[in-house]
Amino acid sequence: MNSGQGTLDMWKAQQKSPVLRVSELSAIIKELFLDERLQDVLVEGEITNYKHHSRGNRYFSLSEENGKESAVIKCMMWSSDAGKLPFVPEDGMRVIAGGRIDFYPPGGTCQLYVKNLKRSGAGEKYLMVERWKQELSIEGCFAPERKQPLPPYPSIIGVVTSGTGAVLHDIKNVISRRYPLRVILSPTAVQGEGAHIEIAEAIRKIDGKVDVIIVARGGGSFEDLFPFNHPDVVRAIAYCHTPVVSAVGHEVDTTLADYAADARAPTPSAAAEMAVPDRATLFNTLREYRSAMGDALGSQLERAFDELVTLRERIHPKKLGYRIIERRQHIDDMADRVLFATRGKISGSRLRLNEIRAVIDAKNPLNILGRGYCVVEKEGNVVRSARLLAPGDNLVLRLTDGKSGVLVREVNYDKEV
């Protein structure tokens, strides 16, 4: 029986209630880790989530893939031991770590306190990414001639990321502040098994429907970012018709998706700033253009005024002499002649017009009616003969100042000629 088991049995014997306090359970767990087998261990695994603290301590995890299962243990190395390392650890590196296993009650975590660290060759996934990088480079996925420029004034931005994370919120905030426009989400898983399939499909689904695509996710370990190294994702980005901005992880993180994208941003927020212009800057530029155009127009007006003054001085009568005065007199004479001829022509036209008017008035039937005559109409037609009438007909008499309706009582015909 180990010491931890003895402590647990002793506690059970002393307590009436089977309920442990957190501190008691932590003490029992910590005592279990005093097993001598855990005080000097060698562990081989792949470094992930490596961080170098400002005080010199190193924090990372050792991971191992075994078929569909995976195992991860947190590690911590004090600065005094880390300073003796002959190499710089990094994500994907396969190492053998020597140290002791202990329980950290404040964090409630079990971790390996590393005393020494040796390289055991590059991690399998790291080697896989390097092999993919070479193959995709030969295929042309990273070729500079594939790169497309980002449109200066986009209308719609597409975002390929998780619909539940903070990344989408950060991107929308930046865009709404800088250059408000429509943002379309093509949701996808951004880590885990099969995530690369969803990411590639999400990119293809939104391609051609937006002006710029931002492929983004927050920071994470080498394992977390691994799907963005997969050839499926890289090819989806490289063969995308829409310009793509890659914003995967933090500034220090690099994935193969970054090489294939048309532009790379250190963070998702920086990608949003890269994808859209700053309206404040645009307004300032417009104000500068307006000022420059006003200055240019003012200069043109000044030059035009100077030219007008110069031209006026050149054509002044004192400089042109009496020839201009003679020309003016000639013009005045010609104007008088034209005016006289025009007036004569107008008078003649008026006389002819009066003569025509008199002829028309003489032939106007209404004027004839004024002398006591009338026009007889039957059913809208003028009656020109008594033979067109019959007793009982309703007639209309058109007089000079109106009409009258009459009823025919009898009709008498003049003898035929």
pLDDT of residue 392 exceeding 80, the answer is yes
Is residue 26 over pLDDT 80? no
* CATH number listed for the domain at residues 127-276: 3.40.50.261
> Which of 6-20, 163-177, 326-340, 387-401 has the weakest average pLDDT?
6-20
Inform me whether the pLDDT recorded for 324 exceeds 90.
no
Q: What's the pLDDT score for residue 1?
A: 46
The pLDDT score that the predictor gives to residue 275 is 95
| pLDDT attached to residue 366 | 67
Out of 19-28, 55-64, 128-137, 221-230, pick the least confident.
19-28
Most confident option among 55-64, 99-108, 207-216, 325-334 = 207-216
CA distance 162 to 113: 35
- The predicted structure's pLDDT at residue 378: 87
- The single residue listed with the structure tokens 């070479």 is 134
Q: Report residue 187: phi and psi, to 5°.
A: -70, 150
Res 176: pLDDT: 94
**How high is the mean pLDDT of the chain?**
85
Q: Which CATH superfamily is domain 33-122 in?
A: Nucleic acid-binding proteins (2.40.50.140)
**What count of other Cβ atoms lies within 10 Å of the Cβ of residue 272?**
29
Assessment of whether the complete model's pTM goes beyond 0.75: no
5 or 194, higher pLDDT: 194
pLDDT value for 330: 79
Which SS3 state, helix, strand or coil, does residue 167 take? helix
Distance, in Å, from the CA atom of 173 to the CA atom of 65, rounded to the nearest integer, reads: 38
Length in residues, the chain? 417
Q: What is the pLDDT of residue 323?
A: 64
Give all strands of the β-sheet with 212-217 in edge-to-edge order.
Answer: 182-187, 156-161, 212-217, 244-248, 263-264
Q: Six-digit token pair at 198?
A: 């969803």
The model's confidence at residue 27, banded by pLDDT at 50, 70 and 90, is: confident
Distances (CA, A) of 377 to 383, 389, 395, 403: 5, 11, 6, 10
- In this predicted structure, the answer to whether residue 16 has a pLDDT above a threshold of 60 is no
Model confidence at 417, in pLDDT bands (50, 70, 90)?
A: very low
Query: Is pLDDT above 70 for 261?
Result: yes
178 versus 323: the higher-pLDDT residue is 178
Q: What is the pLDDT of residues 99-154, one digit of tens each?
A: 988 888 887 788 899 998 887 755 677 778 889 999 999 999 999 999 999 999 99
Q: What pLDDT, in 10s, does the model give residues 367-377? A: 666 677 788 88
The pLDDT assigned to 352 comes to: 87
Mean pLDDT value of segment 242-247 = 96
What pLDDT sits at residue 318? 64
